[in-house]
Chain A
């Protein structure tokens, strides 16, 4: 092999993929850690039946309130259900709700923000409605919606989307307000591009980065609020194990069976933490200036 001059570093184009990976980990430790933890949680949720779990709703009153031990890794609850299985299956609901809420909020907020930012006549009325929704505290709004409709996962998702959408819409709108004065927009319009093309082809790509960052925060918030709703009894119906549900049932057993509260909460905190870490890392990576100001 020829002698290469030692430049003291390897240019990005010449890196092998293990070197690129190491570089990524070194530069963004929190993002990588958060992403890995989230991936682990997702894997747990998806592979739930294969992880040594039993039926999470199967009651076994003989085995009530056993402490964590050999047969039941996280103990059993007041009906004899295996806590470990319930926690693992509970992650499915939380992650599903979080993801769907994040995607829906981003999609709807993006549409509203794009239209509101670009079409001047519609801007004021749309923003007044958004302000009105934002004036209501999140939890109260979500709680009212779920309790007034049937308790189901779908309704919980709608209840969580409504309070979060205005924030995303505001974010997108603020970006559009800045961008619509730019020369490239003017030239596109001069070339005859009509509204849909202007919005989708020119404005939308510039909103993706902050949107993704905001989306992670929305997801974290959604997972937390869903758990809070379930805990208060205004969320996921009690037949479906969700971390909030499990903790609601366990609250009378603080003295005798604290493990029932410990493990779901631990998993919940870990999941939300991983999402937040991922979001922070993405934000630092993608666009620190815009995203920080708008959060």
Chain B
């Protein structure tokens, strides 16, 4: 098992390597010179060149790449082209709101979607089953930002129950923290929930058709026991896979949700960096997100052994 973990982490390295190269090239191939943007509209070519040298952008691409990789190994993600602040510091400052949103969304979505999916599969063909299916397809089709504005309009503008935008750290009070986080969580959570409920329902339904479930029912085992002791573990694998794969959806959704609700997190940092062509931040954030995504998928793969003892590494 340990050998498998080590092998998987080593296998992540070439993928991360490709990601690094890809982002590095993408950012530099494109037109749009950051030095010119920093210098402004009225700069002379000498100014622009001076800025470019100062940023190290005048060196040939492979030299730039070599410098970048060397720094990366030391943990230095470079400096923002615009503010000259270390990228690492910028990311650390913005980490908390994003992590708070992601964790609360995951909890909300998983805690609601999985029971819903199980219920729908158990009572297949009934009203609740159809309701869950409609919700699943509908929820997945709704654009995240529209849903966010709908909720803002309903709960903040009309009912005035919750704050419209902004983020309060939990160190400044637990209740404001929760109040500011509710709408973004529900917005993002609903979309994630729709996907998860649907996969859960399909998976549990498939498992419930199995012979051993029919045997357990015929033996007179209590339906709850059948569901939770016999069926659930076998249905878990596709569900957990979807949690991992849906994480990429979550990251994209976090970017949009942070923009709608004005949360000062990594998503906003990325949007601003992209609009300003700030190469270093774009590279740093993309790397972090990809790394986290790869890690999440690794955890998901490892968790398979918990659910299905036949899977052994």
Contact = CB atoms under 8 A, between A and B. Distances in A.
A275 B248 CA distance: 21
A167 to B, nearest CB: 10
B15 A273 contact: no
B293 A272 contact: no
A131 B149 contact: no
A94 B238 CA distance: 32
Interface stretch (A66-74, A139-147, A172-180): A139-147
A128 B277 contact: no
B27 A132 contact: no
Given A227-B145, A233-B271, A251-B260, 4 more contacts: A30-B137, A139-B256, A147-B274, A268-B146
B40 to A, nearest CB: 19
Contact of B275 (A129, A147, A269): A147
Of B18, B145, B157, B164, most buried by chain A (CB within 10 Å of CB) is: B145
A232 B255 contact: yes
B141 A272 contact: yes
- Interface SS of B by simple majority: helix
Contacts of A131: 15, 18
A82 interface: no
A144 B274 contact: yes
B106 interface: no
Interface string B136-155: 01101111111001101100
A140 B137 contact: no
A247 B144 CA distance: 12
Interface stretch (B48-56, B213-221, B282-290): B282-290
B137 A277 contact: yes
Given A265-B146, A276-B137, A136 B30 contact: no
Contacts of B274: 143-144, 147-148, 234
Contact of B31 (A149, A247, A292): A149
Interface in A71-97: none
Interface string B152-182: 1100010000001000000000000000000
B108 to A, nearest CB: 20
20 contacts: A128-B15, A131-B18, A132-B15, A133-B22, A135-B18, A135-B19, A136-B22, A137-B289, A143-B274, A144-B23, A145-B30, A148-B277, A228-B144, A228-B252, A231-B256, A247-B145, A247-B149, A266-B146, A273-B141, A277-B137
Interface string B218-238: 000000000000000000000
B286 A144 contact: yes
Given A135-B290, A140-B289, A273 B138 contact: yes
B27 A148 contact: yes
Interface stretch (A43-51, A185-193, A253-261): A253-261
Contact of B256 (A150, A220, A228): A228
A251 B149 contact: yes
Given A133-B22, A137-B289, A234-B274, A254 B153 contact: yes
Nearest to B252: A139
Given A147-B274, A148-B277, A232-B271, A139 B251 contact: yes
Contact of A148 (B14, B30, B137): B30
Nearest to B202: A292
B95 interface: no
Given A148-B30, A149-B31, A276-B141, A128 B18 contact: yes
B303 interface: no
B165 to A, nearest CB: 10
Nearest to A243: B143
B32 interface: yes
Contact of B146 (A138, A255, A261): A261
A144 B157 CA distance: 34
B270 interface: yes
Nearest to B18: A132
B125 to A, nearest CB: 15
